[in-house]
Structure 1
């Protein structure tokens, strides 16, 4: 998801936790993204550093405890849990090995290859019952991707991804792709960052994979603070996007409810947010009552009639999908689980396990090595945003996070019933079961019926 860096605005939407970390891609400020071969990688982030930073953007002072690897050591390096590629030794692994006094282990196979090795569009569409809808739906809809910093190669890399998979071109020239800053400028863009560029590529590719006919609006915040990322969310909505994907997050704070009203309260817009990649524990803005919190699964082929099977994504005690009961955000009226009196995370889920990861094409900077296999809930959030887009424009006064709850217990969702993402006192907070559970929510898409008004 995301990571925070001392900043004037919070992680995903406002100003609350200095800088957010990306969740699952190659972004220098999101949460953890993992990739195939993770079993040989180092563990996720180390224990939090006992220092606090004050966010300055809001009227009230907000202090928070940043994670030990929340801020990249240098520009272009991945934050702790931001991304793990399928080969080589990443900045994350080097940092973790240094802390432990051991030599970093390379992951096999190689980090990049001439052709993709992860799941592509046809796989994802098949797994979630979207093949027919993806072929015919989405025209006229725009999915907004909100990230921090600039990826100079975003349009070119997306073109390579789409061309390889036989998807029509989305370009600035034909109106299918547009990149703007958080103020809406197409010329005054943020500083480029190779870490966030990987996150951007992941998000763009997943939106394309599930909704090939959708247009894409990339909104780049000038930094990974909540205020700037939140401003970018508002700009995406201002520019007309009805579907907004956010792949970043961080620890909760008492300021979250103010960020809710400042950045995420957009009736008629489906806003998806990654649940986090560090295992059990609630993260914001996934716990905002106005968004669809998207958990992560391990997706594998199966001989069953569906052809696919899923379980909770959990690589280790510190690597897996997030979930949990919010300490601050009120429970939305449509969420009826009884163990958590406030907002429960997640709502729905999709593939996120790097060991069953998705193919992404990224060439910018030292981290951009072409084709790679990615994981993390940074993959599942844009996938679900694209499912909403295939289902059509939400009602103007609706909060689309409610839609899956209207279909709870029906064949419109694949109920994920196995796996856990950690240890918790209330079982369903961290362990899958029949019906609603924290790690996977109500399940994964089985067509579009659970995502329509």
Structure 2
């Protein structure tokens, strides 16, 4: 606890100097999900006007409180219900599986933990609707598939924004790994002390894949919290942030955590250009760096041994990436609070993190004594190399511009299957 108060004072001073970057509420128009029913796997029409979206959890004024990194589309109607054979707006499980070439049946018996804040009262019932709509097997408490735990004991107060964040997280895990078990660990508040308690509970309950879609701006003193993640054999994954370059957040900046960057994901027709097909592995999708995804060079965290990029002497973010742009976002069902009016479309690196955590689970349990955030660097050929897009102004540097090979916004790239998320011992 003393460390949290120290961090609060140091972070407050840092924010007074640097200011807090806030992601814009609008984005350039891109091809992506729009309203209306569609068949599974069908192309999604481009929006008629530039998509609009906003943060689900505004950055709190207290520097020791975290913000979730989800963004919700505000230009699409929320759909209270759908016919059984209709897909909601936004990408769903078939799209995620197709885009990242994920195995159809894997992950059974493995648990992906989601660490969030406050209570999400309708978590299990909303998850049941989501999975039924996409014809996924049930995942309930009775089946031993879903479990909700309150880290501090008593049920926390509910919060609309964090509930929608948790809905996004558990449904993203379902989309990427339908056979995975899901553990939702709810912190009492969004304060760092409570969130780190929830992190410890998730680890203590045996989860080997733990997703954290929240963060605070980097500040002196953050390294005192790295011990929460310094556990070999655990795949810790955190959102890289939604404020572009160079606005890093913690815990994504920790050298023990996989920092998940965000991409814009668009379905496309196969090209007749051989070089283009070879580069995209014939996947039928194209990706670029999302303009708001977080990346940059840490001011405080040491550089992990597996990172060798030349222009950052310390930890570089991100490590890998996945869908994050809300303009090409993900279908979510939520019935709680001010956001809870059914189906809507979300994105942000809050989406990237649980997708990547679930993909780690698909790949198999991490090897004892190894750090899973190092795995992608050993097999870069097992990722889609993202070479277009930027998330800020850095003179064309790889720290904010997608380039061939490693770059800040997308890291090693996005998973092409799950081989790159396995230890070399496989």
Match of 1:300 among 266, 273, 283: 266
1:198 to 155, 164, 187: 164
Name the structure 2 match of 1:450: 420
Work out the CA distance in 1 between the residues paired with 2:185 and 2:392.
34
CA contact (8 A) 2:238 2:259 kept: yes
State whether residues 17 and 225 of structure 1, in contact with CA within 8 Å, keep that contact through their aligned partners in structure 2.
no
Deviation at 1:117, TM superposition (A): 0.8
Q: C-alpha offsets along residues 61-105 of structure 1, whole Å, 9 cap, x if unaligned?
A: xxxxx9xxx88xxxxxxx8x75333x4xxxxxxxxxxxxxxxxxx
Structure 2 match to 1:240: 206
Q: Does 1:213 find its partner at 2:179?
A: yes
Provide the rounded CA distance (Å) in 1 between the counterparts of 2:181 and 2:263: 27
- Please list the CA deviations of residues 19-72 of structure 1 after superposition, one character each: whole Å capped at 9, or x if unmatched: xxxxxxxxxxx9999896793537879xx99x8x675xxxxxxxxxx9xxx88x
Partner of 1:310: 287
Equivalenced residue count is 376
Which secondary structure state, in structure 2, belongs to the residue aligned with residue 427 of structure 1? Answer: coil
TM-score after normalising by structure 2: 0.82
Residue from 58, 61, 78 that aligns with 1:111: 78
Q: Is the CA contact (8 Å cut-off) linking 2:176 and 2:359 kept in structure 1?
A: yes
Unaligned residue ranges in structure 2 (runs of 5+): 13-21, 28-32, 34-46, 83-87, 271-281
Do the aligned partners of 1:331 and 1:341 also contact (CA within 8 Å) in 2? yes
TM-score, reference length from structure 1: 0.77
Aligned to 1:150: 119
Q: 1:10 Cα shift?
A: 5.8
Could you say if the C-alpha distance between residues 9 and 144 of structure 1 is closer, same or farther in structure 2, counting changes exceeding 3 Å? Answer: farther
1:239 Cα deviation (Å)? 0.1
**How does 1:98-137 map onto structure 2 within 5 Å?**
107=75, 109-112=76-79, 114-115=81-82, 116-130=88-102, 133=103, 135-137=104-106
- Counterpart mapping for 1:33-432 below 5 A: 39=50, 41=52, 82-85=70-73, 87=74, 107=75, 109-112=76-79, 114-115=81-82, 116-130=88-102, 133=103, 135-183=104-152, 185=153, 188-261=154-227, 263-281=228-246, 282-304=248-270, 305-314=282-291, 320-408=292-380, 410=381, 412-424=382-394, 427-432=397-402
In the alignment, the residues of structure 1 paired with residue 410 and residue 8 of structure 2 have an alpha-carbon distance, to the nearest angstrom, of: 26
Judge conservation of contact 1:15–1:259 (CA < 8 Å) in 2: no
Match of 1:97 in 2: none
**Structure 1 position 113, deviation (Å):** 5.3
The alignment partner of 1:328 has SS state of coil
C-alpha separation between the residues in 2 aligned to 1:310 and 1:405? 20
Query: Does the CA contact (< 8 Å) of 1:33 and 1:374 recur in 2?
Result: no
Contact 1:33 1:375 in 2 (8 A): no
Instruction: Give the whole-Å Cα distance in 2 for the aligned partners of 1:215 and 1:42.
Output: 30
Whether the aligned pair in 1 keeps the contact of 2:164 and 2:339 (CA below 8 Å) is yes
Q: Which runs of 5+ in 1 are unaligned?
A: 1-6, 19-29, 56-65, 72-78, 88-106, 315-319
